[in-house]
Structure 1
Amino acid sequence: MSDTSHFARFLRFAAVGAVGTVAHYALLLALVEGAHVDPIAGSVAGFLLGALVNYTLNRTLVFRSDRAHVEALPRFLAVAGMGLCWNALLMYLLVDWIGLYYFLAQMLTTAILLCWHYVGNALWTFRKRIAHE
């Protein structure tokens, strides 16, 4: 794959991620502002919703994966699970330790995790199968 193709795929990944992020943030805001849930719990719930949106769109639109769901979904969930741990840790550090406003902290956390998710999914979850797999 050429550098241009990698960049185009990353841009598609980021666009799909934006859709998942809208779902994440919408649930986060609804839970924190509407239901008065703790921001960290709201962030985790939003993250899970965004992950479901992202799996579906990344599998079909970004990576055009031929891996069966039974193989790809557990891999995706492993990458997302690690991302969820990073999300919770970063939110805790930024909100509770540093005192950053929760929504600004979530935006910063999302930007950091964009790279984690792209690399994990490109190299493992949706990577094209090779002969010995």
Structure 2
Amino acid sequence: MSTPADGNISRRSFFSFLLVGGGATLLQYLIMALLLWTTNLSPTVASSTGFLISAVFNYWANARYTFGGQHDHRASALRFIVTLCAGLAINALSLALLQAAGAPVWLAQLIATGIVFIWNYLINAIWTFRKRQPS
């Protein structure tokens, strides 16, 4: 038996999710650079500001383009925030464990990023942007 989330997992949605995530990352870095260039903000504040703005873009683009907008936006937005926080924790844990195992920081971060990408795609497809049940 198929579930409404099954339609969210596809080659098309995977590559769309990859493009949206890449765009969101680029947006974060551009905002950070702009803030560092034009203000006296610390790198941490500039990066965090870029991250928050890019997260809004990431939600909007994934809701509209990647997963087709056939979901309850109030529920999806809250689920997106939960997924985002869980991804942050997974990134930190993966990075710490890989470094403890002797991996160089750059390699540990690349692997952690891959783990979080797969986590985010699957959870967003199955749970965050779950399609509405027909009434």
Aligned counterpart in structure 2 of residue 21 of structure 1, from 17, 22, 25? 25
Structure 2 CA distance for partners of 1:117 and 1:19, relative to 1, 3 Å: same
Residues 3-45 of structure 1, C-alpha deviations (whole Å, 9 max, x = no match)? xx7111101110111111213344567789x96646xx88766
Structure 2 CA distance for partners of 1:23 and 1:87, relative to 1, 3 Å: farther
Matched, 1:121 2:117: no
Percent identity for Structure 1 against Structure 2: 33
Query: What is the TM-score when the length of structure 2 is the normalising length?
Result: 0.67
2:3 corresponds to: none
Residues 77-121 of structure 1, C-alpha deviations (whole Å, 9 max, x = no match)? 1111101112233445567985525xx654443222110100010
Structure 2 CA distance for partners of 1:46 and 1:111, relative to 1, 3 Å: farther
State the AA in 2 paired with 1:121.
Answer: N
Q: CA RMSD in A?
A: 3.8
1:52 corresponds to: 56
Name structure 2 gaps, 5 residues minimum. Answer: 1-5
Name structure 1 gaps, 5 residues minimum. Answer: none
Q: Aligned equivalents of 2:32 and 2:109: distance in 1?
A: 10
Which structure ranks higher in relative contact order (CA pairs < 8 Å, sequence separation ≥ 6)? Answer: 2
Q: Which of structures 1 and 2 has the bigger CA Rg?
A: 2
State the AA in 1 paired with 2:65.
Answer: L
Q: How many residues align?
A: 126
2:114 corresponds to: 111
